[in-house]
Structure formats: structure tokens, C-alpha cells
Amino acid sequence: KKGLNGDSTLKERYPEGIKWKFLEHKGPVFAPPYEPLPENVKFYYDGKVMKLSTKAEEVATFFAKMLDHEYTTKEIFRKNFFKDWRKEMTSEEKSTITSLSKCDFTHMSQYFKAQSEARKQMSKEEKQKIKEENERLLKEYGYCVMDNHKERIANFKIEPPGLFRGRGNHPKMGMLKRRIMPEDIIINCSKDSKIPAPPPGHKWKEVRHDNKVTWLVSWTENIQGSIKYIMLNPSSRIKGEKDWQKYETARRLKKCVDKIRNQYREDWKSKEMKVRQRAVALYFIDKLALRAGNEKEEGETADTVGCCSLRVEHIKLHPELDGQEYVVEFDFLGKDSIRYYNKVPVEKRVFKNLQLFMENKQPEDDLFDRLNTSILNKHLQDLMEGLTAKVFRTYNASITLQQQLKELTNPDDNIPAKILSYNRANRAVAILCNHQRAPPKTFEKSMMNLQSKIDAKKEQLADARRELKSAKADAKVRRDEKSKKIEEQLMKLEVQATDREENKQIALGTSKLNYLDPRISVAWCKKWGIPIEKIYNKTQREKFAWAIDMAEEDYEF
DNA sequence: CCGAATACTTAGAACCACTTCA
DNA sequence: TGAAGTGGTTCTAAGTATTCGG
């Protein structure tokens, strides 16, 4: 078994920062070129048919395709879209089309709806053909060779042009994401590999051979000016080892977390404001699993915060609330503009410190004005090698899963009931990390369907029991078995209903994929004889192959 | 030392394909 | 046989953290 000596093996595989020795790939797959609309699909301006130039038409179709979406009603979206659209117009178009509200995209929109309907109605053969074409593309471009291993690439297709859809209240929503050309692309591969050829008539921006990074292809995106990358699939060696390393770091934190907690409690009393702020922030990160909270460029992104970037307006202090003392009420938008709302009783010292930090400040002022993530992480680095703010999230998520599994698993339960316990443990973590989802649109209906299934099953059971009672001795055994089977089915349905109800607004996937040491789950499955397929689907099993390989039933995080 | 650039992980929504049920 | 429901997959935005360059 690997991993017996902790994470030393992965550090020694390559010298200092070297990620690979050989890397060969075929380059990216570009978005299909724009196909102009058929002549009979019309765009209207101010009630009159207007034929658009190809470039203007393409951008118009992006808007038309989103017409049903709430986005297109938003002021900022419309303003940004219109501004960028006008840049693509000919000078005649520019002088004619001066108001978005006079543009009528409905015919275009109907055409696209009909198209997608037609796609659904395609014959088996046609669908099969498309499937085969996709498979061919995947086979040719979806893999690379990295150091003697054929590896799956995560995103080998270049993002197609379209309208930028930020999350939350994003100032750039509706802007045009331009088409990426070979001339934008930087290829990264090894010198001795077969270098991918650009499409005929085109050139790459650059070919480089940087083995200190893991990406194969990069380009600069035009909305934020940030770099996008093509990288390997989570099942790859390079991602798997990194993932393993992440959990090993979290396990090292487990060994010193008590010391660190004592330390920050001491620091609440420090004479230095900076130290106190650092200690209170760390307490939040540890206790509430808040994100670090890097600074963001104002006006470039939605207004969201993490711990270090919390503002005075994001917390309310209640000396007493609902019979509890020293309650802090958090209300802010975090990553992806997901709301974090929580009322937390804190220790008196923390409370008093917060009062101090808020003194003479405006609502929009930083709560921790002497702190940022860089200062915090530097401090954490001194407490433990490799420790950063996000390690606390990983640690607290994984340790919570382990504890909850211990607490909730009932040895006498059958498999569905044990899986409910697993999901509940998973749910405790998702709640801790504030992983939310919009309740599925069909939620109420699907709950009702499930309930009627349960009712039907109950009736079936009642029938079976009546039959059992009246059955002759020789038939009793058979009847009894039948009742038992129905009972089991009923129980399974009820468990399913409970699970679904509890999961209405909780997203389990993110914690499962990114925060929970998979070895905890593997060990739990082994201990209770649960097939691993019940916990991890195929993709997840591929991603966590290293853990499935490694963990025995006695694994301790 | 700082802000900017870079590289990588984490995130929810949209989309799609398969299954189930009427 | 088709519509609905569901789980899985894809997409790409939005974070974290480190490195770079002046």
C-alpha cells in the first residue's frame, strides 16, 4: 500500500516544483464557427424587418437564445449587452439600431426553440451519429500523455462565444465573451513531444515548454482579463496526488489544532489590535468554516465577502438574543453570491473584541481593518507548515463527517437506512460549509409523487397482512415472506422521502467532491459492508481511485 | 513591500441522457 | 410511446493562494 509514509513520497517524486518530464497533447477543440440564420428567420427593429450583418447577427442570436431568462430583463445586463453588440455592428446598423427596447428577437428565439425541439425529436440513428462524433472528438482530443500515462483532459473544448453570465449582482453581466482564436492560444507541452498543429491558416500565440505548471493550454479571457486553462481530469495522477496531499495537510492540522485554538484564544487578549483581529478572524474561520476572504477589485465583480473582507454592515451584535448571551448575527453574500445567514453565540471575549473593532466605523468599513488574507496566511504558515485558511474548511468538514458517521450509524440498520445516515452526516458538513442550492423547480410535485407511492405501498402491505392472517398453515410461510418484502420496499421509500425532504435546499455534491477525505467514506463502506457504488458514482470512483485503493476499514482521518 | 499576474481549487446551474411510469 | 423525473455530466464563474516584478 502506498501512503504509509504520509505525504513524503509525493514531494520526492520530482525535484522542486517540477510537475512532469514529458507532456504531449493534440491542442484544444475550438467552438464551431457561426452558422448564419436561414433567410426566413427575421429580426425586427422598431416593427420593421431588418437584415443584420453576419457579425451583428451572431451576437443578436446570443441574446435571442437567452430571451426567456430573467437575465435579459435586468438593466445592467441589457446595457452591457447593447454596448458590446453595437461594437459588432456595421456603421449603418449602428446608426439605425439605437435602442435595445425597439429590438424584437422573438422570431429568432422561436426558431431556436424549434431547433432544440427538433433535436429532441431526432431519430435514434441521428442521435447515434452525434454520439459517435462526440466519442471520436473525445478519443482524439480528450487525452494526453503525461510521463508514460495516458490521462483524461478535463476541458479540452474552448469556451464558445456568448454573453457573460456572472452570478449575483455582477456589474459585467451581459458583456460579450468574444470568440477565442488559435492566435489567442498558448500551448504548453514538452520539447520532445509532437507539438499540436494549429488549424490550417492559423498560428498559435505561443508554444512553451514549462514543466513547472500542469496546464496544457491557456488563453486570456476578455471579461475580467483573467487566464483560462485546459487541465487534466480529476482522475489523473497529478490531480489525485494533489488531492491526497490536501487531506494529508488537513490531517496534520488535526494534530496541532488544539494548540492553535489555545493560541488564538490567548491572542484575543493581545495588546496589539492586529493580533486580536487576526485571532477573532481565525476563530470564525475555524468555528464557522468561513472562507478566507481575499480582497476583490471593486466594480469588477459582484459584491461578495469572506472572513477577512467582512464589513461592519455584515454582522449584528446581540448582547442577548432568545435566551442566549453574546450572539453574533451574520448576514452577507459569500462565494457565488450565496447568502450566509447565521446567529452564533460566541465567547464573551470575542464579543467584546467585535464591539471594539466596530467602534467609530461606518457600515461599509472593514470589520478587520488591520487584517488581510496574506497576513493571516503568513501567521498560519508559522503555526504549521502548509497551513492556510482553507485547510480549516477541509479539516472541519472531514472531521465532522467522521464524527457524524460514528454517531449516526446504527449497526442494526439495513443498507438503505445506513445510507440515510451517511447522507445525514454528509448533510451536516454541507450545512457547516453553507453549500446551498435552489430548491429544484419540481420539488413539491416530486415529493407528492413519492408520498402517493408510499401510500400505495402501505395499502399493499395492509392487504398482504390480511392475506397472511387468513392464509392456511401451508401458505403462511410464503405469505409472510411476501409481507416482509413489501415492508422492506415501504421502508426504502420512506427513507428516500426523508432524505429528499431534508435535502431540499442543501447541495451535498460540493463537500463530497472537495472537502471530505474519501478514505473516511471508503473505510465506512468497508466496515458496514456497503458497496462503494452506493456512495460514489462512476466518476467519483475514478476521482477517488487513490483512496479506494488505500483505505482499510480502520482508517482514521 | 505592494499590486498584478498566475495557477490552481471550489462552486452552483444548465444541460443531457437514461429510467420510469402512465 | 412519450412525458416526466432523476442522476450524472458539463460548463465556466468565482474563489484561494502563491509568485512575479517593480
Residue A57 to residue A51: CA distance in whole angstroms: 8
Query: Which of A's residues 69-108 have CB atoms within 7 A of nucleic strand C?
Result: none
Instruction: State whether the beta carbon of A291 lies below 7 angstroms from any atom of strand C.
Output: yes
Residue A529 to residue A418: CA distance in whole angstroms: 10
Closest nucleotide relative to residue A229's CA, C1' based: B7
pLDDT at residue A120 is higher than 90: no
Query: Which of A's residues 223-282 have CB atoms within 7 A of nucleic strand C?
Result: 223-224, 226
Taking residues A133-150, report their average pLDDT. 92
Cell numbers given for A284: 470564525
Strands A176-177 and A162-163: antiparallel
Side chain identity at residue A252, one-letter code: R
Q: What confidence tens digit (pLDDT) does each residue in A485-514 have?
A: 777 777 777 777 777 777 777 888 888 999
- Side by side, the strands of the sheet bearing A43-45 are A48-50, A43-45, A103-104
pLDDT at residue A442 is higher than 80: no
Question: To the nearest whole number, what is the mean pLDDT of chain A?
Answer: 89
Closest nucleotide relative to residue A338's CA, C1' based: B12
Backbone φ/ψ region at A103: left (φ over 0), alpha (ψ -120 to 50), beta? beta
Q: Active-site residue numbers of A?
A: 515
At A10 the pLDDT is 45
**Is the separation of the CB atoms in A7 and A248 below 8 Å?**
yes
pLDDT at residue A64 is higher than 60: yes
Instruction: State whether the beta carbon of A177 lies below 7 angstroms from any atom of strand C.
Output: yes
The larger pLDDT score, comparing residue A377 to residue A466, is at A377
Angle at A204 between CA A201 and CA A205, to 5 degrees: 130
Instruction: State whether the beta carbon of A373 lies below 7 angstroms from any atom of strand C.
Output: yes
Q: Provide CB contacts within 8 A for A306, sequence distance 6+.
A: A290, A291, A292, A293, A294, A334, A335, A373
- Side by side, the strands of the sheet bearing A206-208 are A206-208, A186-188, A217-220, A227-230
SS3 call for A366? strand
Instruction: State whether the beta carbon of A543 lies below 7 angstroms from any atom of strand B.
Output: no
Q: What confidence tens digit (pLDDT) does each residue in A345-400 have?
A: 999 999 999 999 999 999 999 999 999 999 999 999 999 999 999 999 999 999 99
Question: Considering chain A, what percentage of its residues have pLDDT values greater than 70?
Answer: 95
Instruction: State whether the beta carbon of A170 lies below 7 angstroms from any atom of strand C.
Output: yes
Residue lying closest to nucleotide B6, CA to C1': A227
**Is the separation of the CB atoms in A231 and A38 below 8 Å?**
no
**Is the separation of the CB atoms in A541 and A532 below 8 Å?**
yes
Residue A56 to residue A49: CA distance in whole angstroms: 15
Q: Give the dihedral of Cα atoms A524, A528, A529, A530; nearest 10 deg.
A: -60
Cell numbers given for A532: 462503494
Exposed, middle or buried, A148 (CB in 10 Å: 0-12/13-18/19+)?
A: exposed
Q: Provide CB contacts within 8 A for A423, sequence distance 6+.
A: A499, A502, A503, A508
At A461 the pLDDT is 74
Residue lying closest to nucleotide C5, CA to C1': A446
pLDDT at residue A36 is higher than 90: yes
At A454 the pLDDT is 74
Instruction: State whether the beta carbon of A65 lies below 7 angstroms from any atom of strand C.
Output: no
A393's enclosing H/E stretch is helix A389-408
Taking residues A42-68, report their average pLDDT. 95
At A466 the pLDDT is 77
Taking residues A81-94, report their average pLDDT. 96
Given pLDDT bands bounded at 50, 70 and 90, which one contains residue A229?
very high
The protein footprint on chain C, as nucleotides within 7 A of a CB, is: 4-18
Closest nucleotide relative to residue A215's CA, C1' based: B7
Distance A216 CA to C7 C1' (A): 31
Taking residues A326-330, report their average pLDDT. 96
Query: Which of A's residues 514-553 have CB atoms within 7 A of nucleic strand C?
Result: 537-540
Residue A392 to residue A292: CA distance in whole angstroms: 10
Sign, CA torsion A473/A475/A481/A485:
negative
| A37 DSSP 8-state letter | P
Cell numbers given for A420: 440515510
Listed in sequence order, the DSSP H helices in A199-343 are 237-267, 273-288
Instruction: State whether the beta carbon of A391 lies below 7 angstroms from any atom of strand C.
Output: yes
Q: What confidence tens digit (pLDDT) does each residue in A290-315 have?
A: 999 999 988 899 999 999 999 999 99
Given pLDDT bands bounded at 50, 70 and 90, which one contains residue A1?
very low
pLDDT at residue A5 is higher than 50: no
Instruction: State whether the beta carbon of A205 lies below 7 angstroms from any atom of strand B.
Output: no
Q: What confidence tens digit (pLDDT) does each residue in A537-551 have?
A: 999 999 999 999 888
Distance A159 CA to C11 C1' (A): 8
Distance A522 CA to B7 C1' (A): 30
SS3 call for A269? coil
Closest nucleotide relative to residue A453's CA, C1' based: B21
Q: Provide CB contacts within 8 A for A520, sequence distance 6+.
A: A398, A401, A402, A405, A551, A555, A557
Question: Considering chain A, what percentage of its residues have pLDDT values greater than 90?
Answer: 72
Q: What are phi and psi of A423, to 5 degrees?
A: -65, -35
CA A446 to chain centre: 25
Which DSSP string corresponds to A154-203?
S--BPPPPEE---SSS-TTTT-EEPPP-GGGPEEE--TTS-PPPPPTT--
Instruction: State whether the beta carbon of A218 lies below 7 angstroms from any atom of strand B.
Output: yes
Residue A68 to residue A50: CA distance in whole angstroms: 22
Residue A152 to residue A138: CA distance in whole angstroms: 9
Residue lying closest to nucleotide C9, CA to C1': A539
pLDDT at residue A281 is higher than 70: yes
**Is the separation of the CB atoms in A14 and A211 below 8 Å?**
no
SS3 call for A153? strand
Residue A301 to residue A224: CA distance in whole angstroms: 9
Taking residues A75-93, report their average pLDDT. 96
Residue lying closest to nucleotide C12, CA to C1': A159
Instruction: State whether the beta carbon of A164 lies below 7 angstroms from any atom of strand C.
Output: yes
Strands A149-152 and A103-104: unpaired
Residue lying closest to nucleotide B7, CA to C1': A213
pLDDT at residue A158 is higher than 60: yes
pLDDT at residue A435 is higher than 60: yes
- pTM for the model: 0.89
The protein footprint on chain B, as nucleotides within 7 A of a CB, is: 4-14, 16-17
Instruction: State whether the beta carbon of A302 lies below 7 angstroms from any atom of strand C.
Output: yes
Instruction: State whether the beta carbon of A227 lies below 7 angstroms from any atom of strand B.
Output: yes
Instruction: State whether the beta carbon of A14 lies below 7 angstroms from any atom of strand B.
Output: no
**Is the separation of the CB atoms in A295 and A380 below 8 Å?**
no
Query: Which of A's residues 410-469 have CB atoms within 7 A of nucleic strand C?
Result: 440, 442, 445-446, 449-450
